[in-house]
C-alpha cells in the first residue's frame, strides 16, 4: 500500500535540501515531505564546494541555489603561497531554502516546519506537530539527516570550530578570489587559518577557523580577531551583516559500519557522509542526492539496493584513509605545528588536491600524501608512543 509520500526527509538542512532538489529534477511527480523542527529550512550557513566536487549532471539542477561562484582560489602558509585554478562556489542557506521551498510547492508534497521527528522507521516517521499533537507520516523511503553530532557518530575526535562574519567594508576590498586558508596568522589553539570569500566588491565573509583539541568556541575573541585581520588587510569594516558559527567533529575513529545503507537511510553528517579532515559534507551529500534521485523511492532499499550498498562501501573506504590522516594530524603533531601538514599537502599536484576534497582519492593519491619526508613539526615521541593503531 503506497504511503502518504514517496520520500519523507527528516531534517531540512543541506543533505535533505539537496535530495529534494535532485529528486524534483529527476522525478517531477515525486511526493516529497520535509520535516524540520526549526521555524525555517537550512539554518544559518554558507556552504561552499569546489567545482570538481560535484557529479557533472548535478550542476544544472543546483544552479538556482548557487549564491556566488569564482574561478580559482588561493592558500597561504608561512612558507608557501599558492594560486589554484579550480573553481569554487557557495550556497547561502537562504538561497537553498528558497530553491527547496519552490521544489516542494506542488500538490502531494509538504514542507512541515516547527515539526520534530520523534521516531524514525524504514517506512514511517512519528512527528510532534507545532500544536503538540503527534502524527504518523508514511513514506516509501525515509531519509534522516539531522546534522553533525559527535555523540551520534560515537567518534574519537578533534574539532573544526569557526566563527564567520559577513561584513560590508568601508570601500572596495579589491579581493577577487576566495582565500581558502590563510595560515600566516598566529598558530594558536591548533591549526588556525582565516577563510575569506569575496561576495561583492564591498562585501566579504571572513571566518577565523581552528582545527582544535577542544570544542570550546570563544565567540567574543574570534570577533576581535576578524576585526584585526580585516584592518591589517586594509579592509575596515563598516558593518557586520550576519554571523555564523560551527563546531564540527573531525574524528579519527568512528564505527566501522558507518555510513550504512540500511533503511531508514541515515544521511548527512550524522550518518558518516562527510569528509573527516576538512569537515566538508557538500561533495558527498551531492553524490548521495544524485544517487537517491536516480531511482524510484521504493527501489532505494528494494530492487536497486546494491547501488546504495556500493556508495556506502566507497565512502567507508575513503573514510578509513581520512580518519587515519586525522589520527596523525591530531595525535602526532602538537597544536601549533599542525599547519606543517597542510602546508606540505598544498605542495601536491592540484588533481590530487581536488580528489582529496571530493573524497575520491586513488591508491596513487593516498601513497603520494603519505610517502616522503614527514612534514616538519611531527613529534616522533608522540608517534612512537601512540603507534599505528587507532
* Minimum distance of ligand FAD from residue 344's CB (angstroms): 23
Q: Are 7 and 143 in contact (CB under 8 A)?
A: yes
**Which residues, in sequence order, are CB contacts of 92 under 8 Å at separation 6+?**
45, 46, 47, 67
User: Which residue lies nearer to ligand FAD by CB, 197 or 378?
Assistant: 197
User: Which residue lies nearer to ligand FAD by CB, 13 or 375?
Assistant: 13
Q: Are 281 and 274 in contact (CB under 8 A)?
A: yes
User: Which residue lies nearer to ligand FAD by CB, 3 or 268?
Assistant: 268
What's the DSSP call for residue 262?
Answer: P
* Minimum distance of ligand FAD from residue 243's CB (angstroms): 10
Q: Hey, what's the torsion of the CAs at 374, 379, 381, 387, to 10 degrees?
A: -60
Using Cβ positions, the residue closest to ligand FAD within the complex turns out to be 13
Q: Are 28 and 108 in contact (CB under 8 A)?
A: no
User: Which residue lies nearer to ligand FAD by CB, 49 or 332?
Assistant: 49
User: Which residue lies nearer to ligand FAD by CB, 47 or 332?
Assistant: 47
* Minimum distance of ligand FAD from residue 145's CB (angstroms): 4
Query: Which of 235, 232, 233, 227 minimizes the C-alpha distance to 173?
Result: 235
- Say how many C-beta atoms besides its own lie within 10 A of residue 113's C-beta: 15
C-alpha radius of gyration, the chain, whole number: 21
* Minimum distance of ligand FAD from residue 352's CB (angstroms): 19
Cell triple for residue 78? 608561512
* Minimum distance of ligand FAD from residue 161's CB (angstroms): 10
* Minimum distance of ligand FAD from residue 386's CB (angstroms): 28
User: Which residue lies nearer to ligand FAD by CB, 37 or 82?
Assistant: 37
**Residues near ligand FAD (CB under 6 A):** 10-16, 35-38, 43, 45, 47-49, 116-117, 145-148, 244, 246, 248, 268-270, 279-282
Please name the helix (run of DSSP H) or strand (run of DSSP E) that holds residue 125, with its range, or none: strand 124-128
Amino acid at each position: 500500500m503506497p504511503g502518504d509520500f514517496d520520500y519523507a526527509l527528516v531534517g531540512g538542512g543541506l543533505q535533505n535540501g539537496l535530495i529534494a532538489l535532485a529528486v524534483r529534477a529527476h522525478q517531477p511527480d515525486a511526493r516529497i515531505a520535509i520535516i524540520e523542527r526549526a521555524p525555517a529550512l537550512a539554518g544559518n550557513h554558507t556552504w561552499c564546494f569546489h567545482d570538481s566536487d560535484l557529479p557533472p549532471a548535478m550542476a544544472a539542477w543546483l544552479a538556482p541555489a548557487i549564491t556566488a561562484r569564482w574561478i580559482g582560489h588561493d592558500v597561504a602558509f608561512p612558507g608557501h603561497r599558492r594560486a589554484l585554478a579550480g573553481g569554487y562556489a557557495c550556497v547561502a542557506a537562504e538561497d537553498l531554502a528558497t530553491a527547496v521551498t519552490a521544489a516542494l510547492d506542488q500538490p502531494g508534497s509538504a514542507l512541515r516546519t516547527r515539526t520534530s521527528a520523534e521516531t524514525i522507521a524504514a517506512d514511517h516517521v512519528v512527528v510532534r506537530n507545532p500544536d503538540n499533537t503527534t502524527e504518523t507520516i508514511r513514506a516509501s523511503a525515509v531519509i534522516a539527516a539531522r546534522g553533525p553530532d559527535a555523540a551520534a557518530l560515537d567518534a574519537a575526535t578533534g574539532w573544526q570550530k569557526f566563527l564567520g562574519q559577513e561584513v560590508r567594508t568601508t570601500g572596495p576590498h579589491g579581493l577577487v578570489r576566495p582565500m581558502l586558508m590563510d595560515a600566516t596568522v598566529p598558530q594558536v589553539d591548533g591549526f588556525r587559518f582565516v577563510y575569506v570569500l569575496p561576495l561583492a566588491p564591498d562585501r566579504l565573509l571572513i571566518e577565523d577557523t581552528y582545527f582544535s583539541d577542544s570544542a570550546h568556541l570563544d565567540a567574543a575573541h574570534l570577533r576581535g580577531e576578524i576585526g584585526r585581520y580585516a584592518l591589517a588587510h586594509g579592509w575596515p569594516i563598516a558593518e557586520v551583516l550576519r554571523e555564523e558559527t560551527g563546531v564540527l567533529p573531525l574524528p579519527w575513529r568512528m564505527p566501522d559500519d558507518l555510513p550504512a545503507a540500511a533503511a531508514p537511510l541515515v544521511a548527512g553528517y550524522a550518518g558518516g557522509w562527510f569528509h573527516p579532515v576538512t569537515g566538508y559534507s557538500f561533495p558527498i551529500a551531492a553524490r548521495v542526492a544524485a544517487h537517491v534521485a536516480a531511482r524510484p523511492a521504493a527501489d532505494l532499499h528494494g530492487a536497486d539496493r546494491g547501488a546504495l550498498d556500493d556508495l556506502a562501501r566507497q565512502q567507508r573506504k575513503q573514510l578509513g584513509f581520512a580518519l587515519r590522516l586525522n589520527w596523525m594530524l591530531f595525535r602526532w603533531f602538537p597544536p601549533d605545528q599542525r599547519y606543517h601538514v597542510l602546508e606540505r599537502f598544498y605542495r601536491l599536484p592540484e588533481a590530487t588536491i581536488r580528489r582529496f576534497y571530493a573524497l575520491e582519492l586513488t591508491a596513487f593519491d593516498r601513497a603520494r600524501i603519505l610517502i616522503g619526508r614527514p612534514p616538519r613539526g611531527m613529534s616522533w615521541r608522540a608517534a612512537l608512543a601512540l603507534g599505528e593503531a587507532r
